[in-house]
């Protein structure tokens, strides 16, 4: 793709509280439609403020990638879901201490009043938090998916009954996060009280979707990006925030037997 690309991001809030966000990377001809679709989504949340930012990105820096393979885990309850997340993180090279720290922090919405806008950066060995602003976290931004890959992804997810836009969006975000050289794994579940599913993603294990990581009605949630032990976070933060990343192909979907 040698056409100009624009990063477009939306953030809707009410009384400083985050309501809705969205992110895409689109050619010039797609900017207006993308902005309108994001504004439409923001509006369904009755926001007080909506920010839509549009920035041309330097296509010379563009990194292309594909989605991780998605595995659908089957767990009996929240405790089993969280236990599975800990096992999967350790398999990816995260220490039990670091995995437990992040899981507990997310279960408490990272100790901030309200939810973080970004993710915790966690040293996979020591469990130390590396993000400069612990109440905000680090946001992955300037990423998107081509229309063809998006359509392929929606089609494949629908075959498995996954029709909520959150799954596809999390897969795309995670593709960029895992493309950061120092990131070895990610843990996430939403702060949306009606969305108990979340995931562990890692470079070698792919995206493991865990259907129960919290009880419905629970408003806590968040994200953690685990960096290889001893990594300096600066280059990872620069990659996550600045490098444009475009998903051009999807992965496979596997379903685990209960």
Would you tell me which residues interact with ligand WAQ (CB under 6 A)? 21, 115-119, 137, 139-141, 166-167, 170, 173, 188, 190-192, 197-199, 209, 221-223
Helices (H), 49-163: 78-91, 96-107, 147-159
User: Whole-angstrom Cα distance, residue 251 to residue 255?
Assistant: 13
Query: Judged by CB, which is closer to ligand WAQ: 60, or 208?
Result: 208
Pairing of β 206-210 and β 198-202:
antiparallel
Q: Which does 199 bind (CB under 5 to 8 A by kind): Mg ion, ligand WAQ, none?
A: ligand WAQ
Interacting residue with Mg ion among 23, 186, 191, 218 (CB under 5 A): 191
Closest separation between CB of residue 54 and ligand WAQ, Å? Answer: 16
Query: How many CA atoms does the CB half-sphere of 201 hold within 13 Å?
Result: 26
Closest separation between CB of residue 220 and ligand WAQ, Å? Answer: 9
The DSSP-derived string for 142-207 is SEEE-HHHHHHHHHHHHHTT---HHHHHHHHHHHHHHHSTTEEEEEEE-S-TT---EEEEETTTEE
Query: Judged by CB, which is closer to ligand WAQ: 2, or 200?
Result: 200
Q: Which does 250 bind (CB under 5 to 8 A by kind): Mg ion, ligand WAQ, none?
A: none
Query: Judged by CB, which is closer to ligand WAQ: 3, or 104?
Result: 104
- For Mg ion, the binding residues (CB under 5 A) are 191
């Amino acid at each position: 793709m040698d056409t100009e690309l624009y990063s477009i991001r939306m953030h809707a809030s009410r009384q400083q509280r985050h309501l809705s966000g969205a992110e895409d990377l689109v050619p010039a001809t797609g900017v207006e439609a993308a902005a309108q679709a994001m504004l439409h989504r923001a509006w369904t949340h009755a926001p007080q403020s909506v920010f839509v930012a549009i920035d041309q990105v330097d296509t010379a820096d563009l990194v292309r990638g594909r989605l991780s393979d998605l595995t659908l885990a089957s767990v009996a309850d929240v405790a089993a879901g969280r236990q599975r997340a800990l096992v999967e993180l350790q398999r990816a090279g995260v220490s039990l201490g670091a995995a437990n720290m992040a899981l507990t922090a997310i279960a408490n919405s990272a100790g901030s009043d309200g939810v973080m806008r970004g993710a915790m950066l966690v040293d996979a060995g020591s469990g130390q938090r590396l993000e400069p602003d612990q109440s905000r976290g680090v946001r992955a931004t300037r990423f998107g998916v081509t229309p063809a890959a998006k359509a392929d992804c929606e089609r494949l997810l629908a075959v498995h009954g996954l029709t909520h836009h959150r799954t596809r969006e999390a897969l795309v975000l995670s593709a960029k996060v895992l493309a950061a050289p120092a990131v070895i794994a990610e843990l996430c579940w939403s702060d949306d009280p009606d969305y108990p599913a979340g995931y562990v993603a890692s470079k070698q294990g792919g995206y493991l979707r865990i259907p129960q990581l919290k009880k419905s009605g629970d408003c806590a949630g968040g994200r953690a990006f685990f960096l290889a032990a001893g990594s300096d976070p600066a280059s990872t933060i620069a990659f996550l925030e600045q490098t444009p990343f475009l998903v051009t192909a999807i992965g496979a979907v596997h379903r685990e037997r209960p």
